[in-house]
Amino acid sequence: MSFGLCSHHNFNMTVPMNIVNISSCSHGFNELFGTLLVYGMEFNPHLYLPTTCGCGSSLSIDHCLNCHQWGFTIFRHNDNRSLIVRLLGEVCHQITTEPVLQQLSGVSQPSSANTSNNARLDIKADGFWDCLRQNVYIDVTIFNPIAHSCRNQSLSACYRRHELKKRHHFEHRVIQVEHGCLTSQLFSTSGGMGPSASIFFKRLASRLATKKNTHGNTGQFCLGFTARLPLP
């Protein structure tokens, strides 16, 4: 997989994105499908995809969703984080992206906690859950439910495992040092969201409805948000 200039095969990339010069060239796209139609050929994506990823591994859908070599997992994470930040901007006054947590300075933490001096979460927003202006720290995680580590577990068990992992890493530190609360925003590449994320967006929908003096269905809001997520 190459990050080169736009070519006739760029549309085969896992996540075509103009911002990183990986986009479908309209001329190449039309040329390929025009050829298939003229000669009555069946379009089989596997005939046009490379067989090996740039990292050296065999290329498959599962590998494309998990490979960190070319940054697709980073792109989808940052896009979802940016969408949450925009929505929070309508109901919260102070929002910080990737806030660095305070140093521990001798404060004891559980063995599973992240004790790095440069530890950070994805979003910090004030007064989201209550009127006491308590900061909420949000961590965005997107996982692949068909990855090898998830195949022997139910989807609900996968959500629970990932949420517990984040809580073990950050919750005690956020509560004891930052005096805030941790909210995990967990999504799957198939389009679902975890229990904490569902509660979060119901609250967000309620606050947006109050601000705009409208009365919407929070379930429909969550489904609408999921549809807007730029998940591959």
The pLDDT tens digits for 71-80 are: 678 888 888 8
- Does the structure show a pLDDT above 50 at 114? yes
Among 117-121, 128-132, 144-148, 180-184, the range scoring the smallest mean pLDDT is 128-132
Among 12-16, 28-32, 90-94, 213-217, the range scoring the smallest mean pLDDT is 12-16
| Structure confidence at residue 181 (pLDDT) | 92
Q: Is the CA virtual torsion 23, 27, 29, 30 positive or negative?
A: positive
Based on the number of CB atoms within 10 Å of its own CB, is 183 exposed (0-12), middle (13-18) or buried (19 or more)?
Answer: buried
What is the Cα 97 distance to its own chain's centre? 14
pLDDT band at 163 (very low <50, low <70, confident <90, very high): very high
Q: Tokens 């309209």 label which residue? A: 26
pLDDT band at 36 (very low <50, low <70, confident <90, very high): low
What's the rounded mean pLDDT across residues 72-100? 89
What's the rounded mean pLDDT across residues 200-221? 77
pLDDT band at 229 (very low <50, low <70, confident <90, very high): low
Alpha carbon separation from 41 to 28, 37, 47, 51, 98 (Å, rounded): 17, 6, 12, 21, 49
Alpha-carbon distance of 157 to 165, in angstroms, equals 12
| Structure confidence at residue 35 (pLDDT) | 64
| Structure confidence at residue 215 (pLDDT) | 66
